[in-house]
Amino acid sequence: MLDGKRILLIVGGGIAAFKTLELIRLIRKSGGAVTPVLTRAAKEFVTPLSASALAADKVYTDLFDLTDEAEMGHIELSRSADLVVVAPATADLLAKMAGGHADDLASTLLMATDTPVLIAPAMNVRMWLHPANQRNLTTLENDGIFRIGPDEGDMACGEYGPGRMAEPEAILDSIASALGNGPLSGKHVVVTSGPTHEPIDPVRYIANRSSGAQGTAIAKALAGLGAKVTFVTGPAEVAPPSGVSVIPVETADQMLNAVKAALPADAAVFAAAVADWRVTRAAKGKIKKGKSGAPPKLNLDENPDILATVARMRKNRPELVVGFAAETDNVLANATAKRKRKRCDWIVANDVSPETGIMGGDENAVTLIDAKGAESWPRASKVEVARRLAARIADALK
């Protein structure tokens, strides 16, 4: 999986550093070479000797080590790898990366490198959720840094929540994806996301409350597994992910045209909340309040059903077509019927009644319906739901 690839592994000072020793073993078992760099704090958790023994390579720890500088300068070290991996990426390391600090070997290497960087964050849940950490993450994501995790679960500090470092096997998969060797490498997936805006006149439109969060998370997760993603998005609140090809659209008609133009694809995921109707003829100028005081009458036409159109294609139909069903009642029955009617392969059904807080919220509780039956997933963050769906798509396209 990593034949001949060279990984520069920066180990931060957190309790999860012990898992990094297993990661070193896995990288080598997959045919990769790994050079560990330990921060001063990391040495409190794992010894340079264990890292060096497992890596079968020299371990670097000091910026001002004269022998190291004579043998291999820190600039050269930072560029000698195919990928730089930071695991565990502590809150402090992320802050240094986001702020561009270079006051020790690890941060200097991260500033000097011109190779892609993958981070595996690990920290206490409060630290993870702290606005400063979230700001740093956004900065790093905008810089195009790859990320895996953190996972949600019991933490070494006794608390529960997001902050556990991803398991070494999952980090290994992410390394492969970042190097273009992931389970979806070579696959093309089209994802629709967000609402559509259907104009009434030049200033007014029909829309819905979709934020685009779920579709964005799906596109990100698919790209994280190595897929080439075409992301066709309506005017969403959530910013589109980095590392995907973004096609912004406004209306359902434009979305359909953009999807058709993006084919062929191996899979298509229709997460957009497309408006069902559009105004038959949008006014060219702003509609004025009538003198009579009577409100204008809007004639509506049905929009094209993008999912059903693509699922029914004879030519160019993606191997896997996935739709969503946002329902407020009889979720399972309605979604099962929808899957058959629209002829898609899978439907991801969710209850969007206002009391669930799902529409526009951070979490989702979905049921995956295919030809064989239905499988309910526990309520989780939209990011987690996206990861799980992306992994299922990777399995299906194998």
What are the catalytic residues?
A: 157
Task: Note whether 249 binds ligand C5P by CB under 6 A.
Answer: no
Cα separation, 138 vs 361, whole angstroms: 19
Cα separation, 267 vs 225, whole angstroms: 14
Task: Note whether 358 binds ligand C5P by CB under 6 A.
Answer: no
Task: Note whether 231 binds ligand C5P by CB under 6 A.
Answer: no
- The helices-and-strands tally (H runs, E runs) of the chain is 14, 21
The least CB distance from residue 351 to ligand C5P, in Å, is 12
Q: Which amino acid is at 275?
A: A
**Of the candidates 146, 205, 270, 346, which one interacts with ligand C5P according to CB under 6 A?**
270
Task: Note whether 148 binds ligand C5P by CB under 6 A.
Answer: no
**Of the candidates 85, 272, 359, 385, which one interacts with ligand C5P according to CB under 6 A?**
272
* Cis peptide bond N-terminal to 296, omega within 30: no
Pick between residue 27 and residue 344 the one whose CB is nearest to ligand C5P. 344
Comparing CA positions, the residue from 278, 277, 290, 253 lying closest to residue 200 is: 278
Stretch of 32-40, 114-122, 321-329, 371-379 lying at the interface with ligand C5P (CB under 6 A): 321-329
Both tokens of 380, joined, read 């989780």
Task: Note whether 303 binds ligand C5P by CB under 6 A.
Answer: yes
Cα separation, 385 vs 298, whole angstroms: 38
Task: Note whether 323 binds ligand C5P by CB under 6 A.
Answer: yes
Residue 152 φ/ψ, nearest 5 degrees: -100, 140
Task: Note whether 104 binds ligand C5P by CB under 6 A.
Answer: no
Task: Note whether 247 binds ligand C5P by CB under 6 A.
Answer: no
Stretch of 3-11, 151-159, 233-241, 267-275 lying at the interface with ligand C5P (CB under 6 A): 267-275
Stretch of 177-185, 312-320, 324-332, 369-377 lying at the interface with ligand C5P (CB under 6 A): 324-332
Are the CB atoms for 81 and 8 separated by under 8 Å? yes
Task: Note whether 93 binds ligand C5P by CB under 6 A.
Answer: no
Task: Note whether 173 binds ligand C5P by CB under 6 A.
Answer: no
The least CB distance from residue 358 to ligand C5P, in Å, is 14
Residue nearest to ligand C5P (CB): 306
Q: Is 291 exposed, middle or buried (0-12, 13-18, 19+ CB in 10 A)?
A: exposed
Cα separation, 208 vs 196, whole angstroms: 8
Task: Note whether 274 binds ligand C5P by CB under 6 A.
Answer: yes
Task: Note whether 305 binds ligand C5P by CB under 6 A.
Answer: yes
The least CB distance from residue 271 to ligand C5P, in Å, is 6
**How far, rounded to the nearest angstrom, does the alpha carbon of residue 334 sit from its chain's CA centroid?**
29
44 DSSP assignment: G
Cα separation, 195 vs 206, whole angstroms: 10
Stretch of 9-17, 68-76, 323-331, 378-386 lying at the interface with ligand C5P (CB under 6 A): 323-331
Pick between residue 192 and residue 336 the one whose CB is nearest to ligand C5P. 192
The least CB distance from residue 184 to ligand C5P, in Å, is 20
Comparing CA positions, the residue from 241, 248, 260, 169 lying closest to residue 386 is: 241
What is the rounded end-to-end Cα distance, in angstroms, of the chain?
15
The least CB distance from residue 305 to ligand C5P, in Å, is 4
Task: Note whether 194 binds ligand C5P by CB under 6 A.
Answer: no
Cα separation, 120 vs 345, whole angstroms: 33
Cα separation, 67 vs 49, whole angstroms: 18
The least CB distance from residue 161 to ligand C5P, in Å, is 31
Stretch of 118-126, 154-162, 299-307, 384-392 lying at the interface with ligand C5P (CB under 6 A): 299-307
Cα separation, 227 vs 101, whole angstroms: 32
Q: Which residue has the tokens 């991260």?
A: 110
Q: Which residues pair with 346 in a beta bridge?
A: 322
**Of the candidates 189, 307, 383, 385, which one interacts with ligand C5P according to CB under 6 A?**
307
Residues that bind ligand C5P (CB under 6 A): 192, 252, 270, 272, 274, 303, 305-307, 323-326
